[in-house]
Amino acid sequence: MGIQGNAKHLPVRQVRFSTIAETIVATILITGAGGLIGSEAASFFARLGLDVVGVDNFMRSYFFGPAASTEWRVRELERDFANYRHVNLDIRDQEAMARLVAELSSDLDYVLHAAAQPSHDWAANEPLTDFAVNAQGTLYLLEAVRQHAPGAAFAFLSTNKVYGDAPNELPLVEKDRRWEIDESHAYFARGIDENLRIDQSTHSVFGASKVAADVMVQEYGRYFGMNTVVFRGGCLTGSGHSGAELHGFLAYLMQCTATGKPYTVFGYKGKQVRDNIHSSDLVNAIWRFFEAPRQGAVYNIGGSRFSNCSMLEAIDMCQQITGNKLDWTYSETNRIGDHTWWISDISRFQADYPGFELRFGIRDILEEMHENGRPRWLKAS
C-alpha cells in the first residue's frame, strides 16, 4: 500500500564526508544540471567531494534557440570534476527517471530538482509541453525518490510566479526610476512573504504549471513525511546563465548591452522592480537545507532589499559597466501575469537557518556577468 498519510517523518541518512577515518561519500542528483542553478550546485557539491549525478537533455535550446543551449556548461563540469557524471535524460520519461533513482537508491542523499521550462511567453505557445516538463516531470521524480530513496532530502526550485499577479494589487507608488510599495505597508521593510495568496489571480500558463509542482512537492513532504523544500525564487541570476530574450532578463540585458543587440522593455514604463539573487547565494541556501532538512518547507528566496533594481536602473548599470549605450525600445504591453514590483522577504528562511546572508548585490552580479560572459558572447556573435 505504500506510505500512508500522517506517516512518521522519514529519517535522514547521516552522511559523513571523506576523512582519514571515514570513506562515506554523499551522492546528489541534480536535474537541469546545465542550467544556472543546476550547474552552480554541481560545481559546489563536486568541490565538497560529493558524487554528483547531473541530468540534462539540453532542452533549453529547444525552448529558446541554439544560443541558449546549456551544453557548454555541462562540458565544463565534465572537464573540471572527475566526480561529476552526466546523464542525458528527459525528465518527462517516467520509467527512465525511476530507473536512474533506483540505480542510485540507498546511496542517494540529496536531490535538487532544477529542471524546468522557465518562460511565461514560451509556455503559452505549448501549454502541454510546459505542463509535462514542469508539473509531470516533478511528480515523476518525487515518486521515484519516494519509492527508491525516501530518506533523501529533496529541494525544488519553484518561482514567485506561483502568486500570479496578486502582487499587483499591493499599494504601489510610482517613483522617478522605479515602482515602489507604499512605505506604510507591512511589505515595505522586507518584501513579500509566503502568506500572499496563490489562487484567484492570473499566473501565466508557466506560473500555473509551477503551482502544480510546488504544491505536489509540499504534499510529498506533508502527506508522505519526506524531507522536501520549495524555494520560491525571485529572479535567479549569475554569470553561468544562458540568458535569452524570453528568460533570464538580467543576463540577456547585459549580453545585449555588451554586444550591441537590440533589447525590448515590456510595459510598466520600464520601472518594474525585481530582486535578483546570485546563483551561489541560492546554492548556499539549498546546502543549508540539506544539512538540516524539514518536511514540506516553503520559502520565498531572492535578492530581498539587499539586491534589487528596476529595469531602468539595470539598463543604467549595464551601460556604466560596459561603456556602451544599449539599443532598446519600449513596448507598452506588459507580459500577462507579470509583476509590477517584487521583492522577496527571506526572513522565514533566515529564522529557520540562522546565519544565512546574501553576498552579491546587483552591481556585483552585473560586473561578474560582464567579465565572464563577454568573451563567450563576442565569440558567438
Q: For 285-328, what is each residue's pLDDT tens digit?
A: 999 999 999 999 999 999 999 999 999 999 999 999 999 999 99
Q: Looking at residues 252-277, what average pLDDT do you find?
A: 94
Question: How far is Cα 199 from Cα 238, in angstroms, rounded to an integer?
Answer: 30
Give the max Cα distance, the chain: 64
Q: What element of type H or E holds 34?
A: none
Q: How high does pLDDT run on average in the chain? A: 90
Residue 250 lies in a domain: yes
DSSP helix/strand/coil, 232: strand
Q: Determine, yes or no, domain membership for 233.
A: yes
What pTM, to 2 d.p., does this model score? 0.90
% of the chain residues with pLDDT over 70: 90
Which SS3 state, helix, strand or coil, does residue 297 take?
strand
- The answer to whether residue 307 sits within a structural domain is yes
Under 8 Å between Cβ of 250 and 240: no
In a domain, 73, yes or no: yes
Q: Note the pLDDT of residue 12.
A: 42
| 101 pLDDT more than 80 | yes
Instruction: Kindly state whether residue 17 falls inside one of the protein's structural domains.
Output: no
Q: Kindly state the average pLDDT of the residues 87-92.
A: 96
- 173 forms beta bridges with 180
Grid cell at residue 21: 577515518
pLDDT of residue 207: 94
Residue 271 resides in a domain: yes
**Residue 242 pLDDT greater than 60, yes or no:** no
**Which of these, 306, 285, 325, lies nearest to 364 by C-alpha position?**
306
* Digit-coded pLDDT (tens) for 7-43: 333 444 444 344 333 446 899 999 999 999 999 999 9
**CATH code of 43's domain:** 3.40.50.720
Examine residue 42 and state whether it is found in any structural domain, yes or no: yes
User: What b/e sequence results for 48-62 when a residue is b if at least 16 CB atoms lie within 10 Å of its CB, and e otherwise?
Assistant: eebbbbbbbbbbbbe
- What residues make up the domain containing 361? 27-376
What is the C-alpha to C-alpha distance for residues 381 and 376, in angstroms, rounded to an integer?
9
Looking at the domain assignment, is residue 52 inside a domain?
Answer: yes
Q: What's the CA gap between 153 and 145, in Å, rounded? A: 9
Band of residue 245 on the pLDDT scale cut at 50, 70, 90 = low
What is the number of domains present in the chain?
1
Average the pLDDT over each of 132-146, 253-267, 294-308 and give the range with the smallest value: 253-267
